[in-house]
Chain A
Amino acid sequence: MINNKKLVLIVDDDPDYLLQLKTNVESFGFKVVTAENVKDALEVLDTKPDLAILDLMMETQDAGFVLSYKIKKRYPDVPVIIASSVTSETGLNFHLETEEDRNWIKADKYLEKGIRSDQLHREINKLLKL
């Protein structure tokens, strides 16, 4: 039997959030591969994921953007979600709604950490066109 579950890559340096997100996404019926930093993420990228969810601030303040850029360069068609708690902590707002934003930030969706799991499920399905 062919395993046709979609593969989701999740990268976050907070081990608790990583485990929780992995559990969430697996409960939606996806396969999950995880990494705790940019370096490890680049290693597991040899297998092409169907979607990636990246934390924003890891080793550096913009590690998520950098990683997203690298993923897009290698696999232009893989949708990327940036998940961060930066808005609730700093009040800074990032939107990825316009073409101009997306040219700059190579990601498809910006989500605030702590969103409900059914919302997350909807956003993933939308990006995977399910």
Chain B
Amino acid sequence: MEKLRVLVVDDEPGIRSGVSRILRNYSIGFPFMEDDFSFETIEAETGEIALEIINKNAPDIILLDNKLPGIQGIDLLEIISKMRLDTAVMMITSYASLDIAVKATNLGAYNFVPKPFTPVELKSSIENISKHLFLKRMTRKMKEEGKQIRFQFLSVLSHELKSPLNAIEGYLRIMEEKQVGENIEDYMSMIDRSLIRIKGMRNLIMDMLDLTKLESGKKSRKLIKTDLNYLANMALDTVKPLAIQHNVTLNSNIEEDLVITVDKDEVEIIFNNLLSNAVKYNHENGEVNFSVHKNNSNIEIIVKDSGIGISKEDLPKLFEEFSRIKTSETRDIAGTGLGLSITKKMVELYQGNIKVDSKPGIGTTFTIELPIA
């Protein structure tokens, strides 16, 4: 049985001995764990004493009161967070001080237990925090072993998948209760928004498939000599219906004989993402200029649109996973926040680079260079 060391920092002797008593004969097991966890409690009545104990031998879990005689809990938390320990901190405090709660969360406190707490409350908090600690350690171990399991990514993903469902559910409830009357026409804006969110979710699933391809590693890549001229023209055909729908003109200038060793699917994803963005984020009657040509030892791909553009502040976020630029103009455009991050990763697989240049209201240009050799 693995023992987790719990440090209780509280100036009230009753709380300290209470925690020790409750945890003495408590153990938890999870179906995904071979071994159960049990607990060993260490007590500290001030932050200063706690710090000494932490410096000697960092505990696994710290239960931290905020109101302490000397150094305050929140300040101790700040010191602990700077030490980057493999320790989970839980604040024991009353709800009242929200400023502390916000600050503590920002400093990495895992959870809060209100004081006074019942044994059941403490046990359930300890159970959660142990699970969190276990997952954190397992993730790190997997990373060290080269297994790229990305819990962070998955938790963001689950948020991204839940949010359209919540929105659609909300609209359906309104319709169920007939909140704006019997006339279906009065619900059209809600139906439209629901369809937009469904489309966004579908795109997300498609992007996820692209990402899976990327993450499954090099084994499944088929690198063969391919003429980019052919792939570029195919990508143009793919995006044409979308362009017609948006009243956007596609211009292209694609050099002949652009042979390069690539995986056909990956280049298709790059082309499709850039071209569909250039159409989606364009103005009515706008233009897209697509050019692919040789430039020294690179193949240069330029996608230029006359669209809504991206502000300077938003540019750095552009290639981050799940980042979507929120403006009134992008609200009704179905996007997942994954397309460009995938595109960038694909380009980097070829030791290439991607650059973006944009002026709000005028348009955006993406330039990609892929080394031929």
**Which positions in A face B, CB cutoff 8 Å?**
13-17, 19-20, 23-24, 26-27, 36, 61-62, 65, 89-95, 98, 100-101, 104-105, 114, 117
Contacts and interface: CB of A to CB of B under 8 A. Distances in A.
Given A101-B95, A114-B166, A19 B102 contact: no
A100 B96 CA distance: 7
Nearest to B125: A91
Nearest to B175: A23
A58 B120 CA distance: 35
A23 B174 contact: yes
A93 B167 contact: no
Contact of B171 (A20, A62, A95, A104): A20
Contacts of A61: 102
Interface residues of B, number: 28
B179 A13 contact: no
Contacts of A101: 95-96, 98
Interface string B156-200: 000100000011001101100101100000000110010001000
Contact of A23 (B112, B179, B197): B179
Interface in B132-172: 159, 166-167, 170-171
A93 B95 contact: yes
Interface of B: 95-99, 101-102, 105, 111-112, 114, 159, 166-167, 170-171, 173-174, 177, 179-180, 189-190, 193, 197, 326, 328, 331
Given A104-B99, A105-B98, A117-B177, A16 B111 contact: no
A65 B173 CA distance: 29
Contacts of B180: 23, 26-27
A62 B102 contact: yes
Which secondary structure dominates chain B's binding surface? Answer: helix
A19 B189 CA distance: 9
A91 B326 contact: no
A91 B197 contact: no
A16 B197 contact: yes
B96 A20 contact: no
Given A19-B189, A19-B190, A90-B105, A27 B170 contact: no
Contacts of A19: 189-190, 193
Contacts of A62: 102
Given A20-B171, A20-B174, A27-B180, A92 B96 contact: no
Contacts of B99: 104
B175 to A, nearest CB: 10
Given A92-B112, A93-B112, A17 B167 contact: yes
Contacts of B328: 36
B151 to A, nearest CB: 16
Contacts of A114: 166
B31 to A, nearest CB: 22
B170 A16 contact: yes
Nearest to A101: B96
Given A23-B190, A98-B96, 10 more contacts: A16-B193, A19-B190, A23-B180, A26-B179, A65-B98, A90-B105, A92-B101, A92-B112, A93-B112, A104-B96
Contacts of A117: 173, 177, 179
9 contacts: A14-B167, A16-B167, A16-B193, A19-B193, A27-B179, A91-B112, A104-B97, A104-B98, A117-B179
A13 B101 CA distance: 23
B167 A94 contact: no
A24 B180 CA distance: 9
A90 B101 CA distance: 11
The 8 closest A-B pairs by CB, nearest first: A16-B167, A27-B179, A20-B170, A95-B95, A23-B174, A100-B96, A23-B179, A15-B331
A91 B71 CA distance: 27
Nearest to A62: B102
Contacts of B171: 16, 20
A93 B105 CA distance: 12
